[in-house]
Structure 1
């Protein structure tokens, strides 16, 4: 049995890589981190032109009708290039949530707008994962008030916000609805997260209950696993490239056994993660019995491996590794934030243990 990407999936990944290669440089990312939003605007336009926002949305709503595996391949390239544009919340989690139960009016209203790029969707599930004791949401009749933090893809004035309360996903429209969105400063300038303040905001329940919440989290974790894989691969590639250029004692440092071992161990740790991510993503659409557990495994394992690669690849660069001149710190910081969103590895491993019946 051959376990590999199809020809079409390979072409999709290569085309997206080429698009990002042509449009993103380290200078662009550096300017973006200093407040220049032109990269975010240009990349968003390119993503819309390629029809990517509707990748997972069925053709009947104008989308491509592809699956979580294809979306995770896009996430991998986004992580590899540190793309500052909505993806995991807007194009993976939101369609999954809205489509959890078929033929509902929310799909007809919002999915075509996501496909066209006319709107973006912010996902904020801090009520379910990582809720702070002094924050939270309060529901009174048909209105919700309170604060959500670490919202994903909320940087482009989203038209709707999807969050969770009382074992249900709810959808809140942002226009004239008592919603305030503020970016939260973090170490990662390439992926903004937001704080959302609701003040007696009207909401609509998304059908599906607890199962819809869990499925939305699972596909989001797969998306972050893909992002971590891409960011790790980029740091590894850059470290190897540098080791073959930098000379010490009239030899490239890549010829020294210690550096060889560092690079080889990174490659050996990362390569199995690729098939793990593929299988976990595939299971979301085709192996429902394993989907929840595999999403936990992929997110937790990639989080740990990525952290190790971020640290080790930086060491290969020596003192240059964390300077802005090389810019590797953008991926280092992106990995640091990505491993915590939707649950850090410790929390996610605990969930995996409970799924398998272990007593914690």
Structure 2
């Protein structure tokens, strides 16, 4: 691997960044959050036109057939613009589940519609990272029972659901026996919820042995990339504010303490980009390293992202807490990413187990 992006990958990032810069303004995110919209249909359609929905879907099914690294590059831009659109589940986890575990018929039925953005598929796999005592799904006779918490891309047409044994199932959003509960989380840009299942009929993905781990790895890489983009946006805003805000007749960015805060944020964040790139690359090219690299990227970005979010807010002073500036959208998105699919401590424990350092 040439440890850098190809010209095609740079063009992909630039195209998504330009679109989001033109159409994904903070005002759209504010409206989405304030109205508690189920879906931002205009944003979803625009991203689908760019090919984002079908980025990793094979060309035979109408997608681009690109890699997880490419998907991570897009996720970085989505985080940078706090884009209110389904992605980590519908455009990454669900296609991967179908590609690796689904039958030819299931792939033909779902992948083309995912690629065009005609359907949104959520992912109920949080229990793979660690289940609460009252959560978990059991499968019997083609029916699911139990509770799945913290479902990604919750406002969906269907879900990929992981059961207690690691088996994967396709569940329609209108299946009998399914109750959907939308949760109030800190991140209002991406709906999250829980599924309560009482013998709900579901379609098993027959070849799902071991695939759950890959879905967990992919989700962690994409969340880390999203945090990278959100943290970079907060850093950029802090630097811009420090150049403009004046105190005692001079820009606050000229004060040594503020310079140090901005420099420390930049120095902490820049190496994280390489960690995300390596984890994305390993997923497709170095499978023996993929799980560990995903853990390291997720855990480290969670910590660094939190530091940048806090420090960038402090640079803004009292303005950093106001809705007028809107920093809280990025701050809360970083906090959401930190805990989804395992917080830093849980992910590091997972990494220790992968290396034989813990039981």
TM-score for the superposition, normalised by structure 2: 0.96
What's the CA shift for 1:253?
A: 0.4
8 Å contact from structure 1 (residues 121, 162) kept in 2: no
Contact 2:227 2:302 in 1 (8 A): yes
Offset of 1:26 from its aligned partner?
Answer: 2.3
Cα 1:330–1:61, aligned 2, differ >3 Å: closer, same or farther? same
> How far, CA to CA, are the matches of 2:130 and 2:349 in structure 1?
14
1:162-187 deviation per Cα after TM superposition (whole angstroms, max 9, x unaligned): 33332211221233433222210011
Q: Deviations over 1:211-257 (max 9, x none)?
A: 10000000111100110000000000000000000001111000111
Q: Identify the residue that residue 214 of structure 1 maps to in structure 2.
A: 213
- CA distance, structure 2, for counterparts of residue 141 and residue 103 of structure 1: 18
Corresponding position of 1:114: 114
Q: Give the aligned length.
A: 359
Give the superposition deviation at 1:117. Answer: 1.5
Shift of residue 207, structure 1, vs aligned partner:
3.5
- Alignment correspondent of 2:187: 188
Instruction: Tell me by how many angstroms 1:272 deviates.
Output: 0.5
The alignment status of 1:227 with 2:229, answered yes or no, reads: no
| Contact residue 77 and residue 230 of structure 1 kept, 8 A | yes
- What SS does the aligned partner of 2:195 have? strand
- Contact conserved, 1:224 with 1:338, CA < 8 A, in 2? yes
C-alpha separation between the residues in 2 aligned to 1:318 and 1:310?
13
* Alignment partner, residue 343 of structure 2: 344
Indicate the larger mover: 74-83 or 113-122: 113-122
Residues 276-324 of structure 1: CA deviation (Å, up to 9, x unaligned): 1001101111111111100000100000000000001100001111111
Per mean C-alpha deviation after superposition, the further-off stretch among 125-134 and 212-221 is: 125-134
How far 1:130 sits from its partner (Å)? Answer: 3.2
CA contact (8 A) 1:181 1:197 kept: yes
SS of structure 2 residue aligned to 1:228: helix
- Runs (4+) of structure 1 exceeding 4 A deviation are none
Distance 1:250 1:323 in 2: 24
| Greater displacement, 158-167 / 277-286 | 158-167
1:281 is matched with which residue?
280
Q: Which region of structure 1 is more displaced relative to structure 2, 25-34 or 257-266?
A: 25-34
Q: Map of 1:321-340 to 2, 5 A cutoff?
A: 321-340=320-339
- What TM-score do the two structures reach when normalised by structure 1? 0.95
Please list, as runs of the form range in 1=range in 2, the aligned pairs for 1:28-43 lying within 5 A after superposition: 28-35=28-35, 37=37, 40-43=40-43
* 1:249 pairs with 2:255: no
> Deviation of residue 39 (structure 1)?
8.1
Paired residue for 2:26? 26
- Gapped regions of structure 1 (runs ≥ 5): none
Is contact 2:102-2:207 (8 Å) kept? no
Structure 2 residue 115 is the aligned partner of structure 1 residue 138: no
Other-structure match for 1:159: 158
Work out whether residues 161 and 174 of structure 1, in 8 Å CA contact, stay in contact via their aligned partners in 2: no
Matching of residues 42-191 of structure 1 within 5 Å: 42-101=42-101, 104-155=104-155, 157-191=156-190
Say what the alpha-carbon RMSD is for the aligned residues: 1.7
Please give the alpha-carbon distance, in whole angstroms, between the structure 2 residues aligned to 1:61 and 1:144.
Answer: 29
